[in-house]
Amino acid sequence: MESVGVEGVANEVRTAYESGKTRSLAWRRSQLKALQRLLYEEEEGMFRALKQDLGKHQAEAYRDEVGILIKSVNYALENLKKWMTPCRVPVPLLTFPTRGELVPEPLGVILIFSSWNFPIGLSLEPLIGAIAAGNAIVLKPSELAPASSNFLAKSVSKYLDSMSVKVVRGGPDVGQKLLEQKWDKIFFTGSSRVARIVMAAAAKHLTPVAVELGGKSPAIFDSLSSARDRKVAVERIVGAKWVPCSGQVCIGVDYVLVEEQFAPILIDQLKATLEKFYPRFDCLSRIINGQHFQRLSNLIKDPSVAATIIHGGSLDSETLFIEPTILLDPPLDAEIMNEEIFGPLLPIITVIVHVQVLTLPSRFQLKKIEDSIEFIRARPKPLVIYAFTKDEKLRSRITAETSSGSLTFNDTMIQFACDELPFGGVGGSGFGQYHGKFSFDMFSHTKAVLRRSFLLEFTFRYPPWDAWKLPF
Ligand code: NAD
């Protein structure tokens, strides 16, 4: 496919879109069904690719990518007709007799960039929405997950309409060439550095953009009254820190905030859970490549940070393995507390210790779990905030006083699997929401259609307004 060059690919897909075929319900349905078949029939191929790229365990690959995609495509098929149906809206009496409608229409040709950590899931999830909305699509998966990219190129052309949906493989150079073309929307999942490049290129053509980024997503850990609740909460934290892709996940727990008095309980439980989940490390994904391994090693190399490691910390550059590692109160000005970690390192921040370092106004007494709200507010808006608490007042305060792409109480990750909830960031964690109907909307233009009859005409609309008198 790449033999025709990036420009050729863009032209072919544009021609397919202009033919009008992608707009029909029949085409959209046939493509979603084809994708559904791909997911069922090529399951083994997906498992193999994810194992090869990331050492991802089959169970994890099904749970986080294949299974989620099957759910999403089924949901889109169930709701497609309803989503496509124009929706009547009330219009002011003054315009009588008139009918107002919201008519969704495809945007045109969509460019999707995806990242390497969920290389199949984060490629096909937006593809489902873009197809459902009746667009033609070019997908550019990450070059850092080559087996998954190859799988996508092969299977998408085998199952889907290869004139309207194409996969282009390659790295930043190919990405740049794609960005020189004109698109009707660019959907980007990745880093804020590259998002800036994408947005600058999109500005040239006034192309709308959605950017799904990352950031530092905290978990607030309240005292919780029972040992069982604490155990469940910690399992869910481990489940979002190490289980998915060894912490290389945008909605993972970046760090935990806990009152100093409860930190020992949390740490003991974390260690026990790690021992239970990982008697061996064979179902832990590996770090994607040497560069990311080095980046993560550097985060804990500084002696002031290394001194705070209380669990794990061993590294093997040969196998790109980093042991699940816990740090207690690393310096807040260290890189590990200012950059997205995106790996198996978990800092625990006790809300009493850093009162001076934080340089917050003195009225903030960082002693109570409530003070973590201020801690979070002093930093860029996260993609997600997790909070483990049974305190309704605290829940209300977190909801009202913090801003994040999403907010999940007493669990982790599952918000991603709810089609009824939009997924996306805010501020530094990105913009544009997708999943379920939100994906359909993301790739549609909602056209305002007003139908008027020739009955009734108010001549006072037009000049000359000689008879016009203000009522005062
Ligand atoms: P990245 O920005 O390096 O790459 C993303 C995509 O952009 C890839 O397809 C890549 O080939 C392409 N690209 C890279 N450089 C380019 C350039 N100069 N010009 C054009 N295209 C270019 O990101 P990544 O390393 O793949 O992903 C990690 C980041 O993604 C993390 O910050 C993580 O939090 C974020 N992420 C966000 C979500 C989400 O849904 N919000 C999901 C997964 C990952």
How confident is the model over 320-356, as pLDDT tens digits? 999 999 999 999 999 999 999 999 999 999 987 444 4
Per-residue confidence (pLDDT) for residue 4, from 0 to 100: 75
Distance CA 142, CA 148 (A): 9
The CATH number of the structural domain formed by 6-213+435-446 is 3.40.605.10
Q: For residue 142, give Cα distances in angstroms to 113, 148, 153.
A: 8, 9, 12
The contacts of residue 233 (CB under 8 Å, 6+ apart) are 221, 224, 388, 410
Q: Does the bond joining 208 to the residue before it have cis omega, within 30 degrees of 0? A: no
What is the pTM for the complete model shown?
0.94
Per-residue confidence (pLDDT) for residue 18, from 0 to 100: 98
**Pocket lining: 178 vs ligand 1, CB cutoff 6 Å:** no
Of residues 12, 250, 259, 340, which has the active-site annotation?
A: 250
Name the residue ranges covered by the structural domains of the chain.
6-213+435-446, 218-424
Q: For residue 34, give Cα distances in angstroms to 73, 74, 240, 467.
A: 10, 12, 32, 65
Paired tokens of 61: 């690959």
Burial of 35 from C-beta contacts in 10 A (0-12 / 13-18 / 19+):
buried
Q: Looking at the domain 218-424, which fold is it?
A: Aldehyde Dehydrogenase; Chain A, domain 2 (3.40.309)
DSSP-assigned letter for residue 64: I
Q: In testing the pocket of ligand 1, which one of 191, 248, 295 has its CB within 8 Å of the most ligand atoms?
A: 191
Centroid of ligand 1 to alpha carbon of 129 (angstroms): 20
Answer for the pair 284, 278: CB distance below 8 angstroms, yes or no: yes
The contacts of residue 340 (CB under 8 Å, 6+ apart) are 214, 215, 216, 254
Centroid of ligand 1 to alpha carbon of 142 (angstroms): 7
Per-residue confidence (pLDDT) for residue 457, from 0 to 100: 86
Centroid of ligand 1 to alpha carbon of 116 (angstroms): 7
Closest ligand 1 atom number to CA of residue 425: 41
Distance CA 137, CA 13 (A): 7
Q: Which amino acid makes up residue 406? A: S
Of residues 12, 65, 212, 340, which has the active-site annotation?
A: 212
CA angle 339-397-259, nearest 5°? 60
Active site residue 212: yes
Per-residue confidence (pLDDT) for residue 3, from 0 to 100: 54
Distance CA 328, CA 250 (A): 22
Per-residue confidence (pLDDT) for residue 224, from 0 to 100: 84
Per-residue confidence (pLDDT) for residue 366, from 0 to 100: 52
**Pocket lining: 113 vs ligand 1, CB cutoff 6 Å:** yes
Answer for the pair 178, 10: CB distance below 8 angstroms, yes or no: yes
Residues in the chain predicted with pLDDT less than 70, given as ranges, are: 1-3, 353-367, 470-472
Answer for the pair 204, 286: CB distance below 8 angstroms, yes or no: no
Per-residue confidence (pLDDT) for residue 356, from 0 to 100: 43
Q: For residue 209, give Cα distances in angstroms to 188, 250, 437.
A: 7, 19, 18
Active site residue 250: yes
**Pocket lining: 342 vs ligand 1, CB cutoff 6 Å:** yes
**Pocket lining: 189 vs ligand 1, CB cutoff 6 Å:** yes
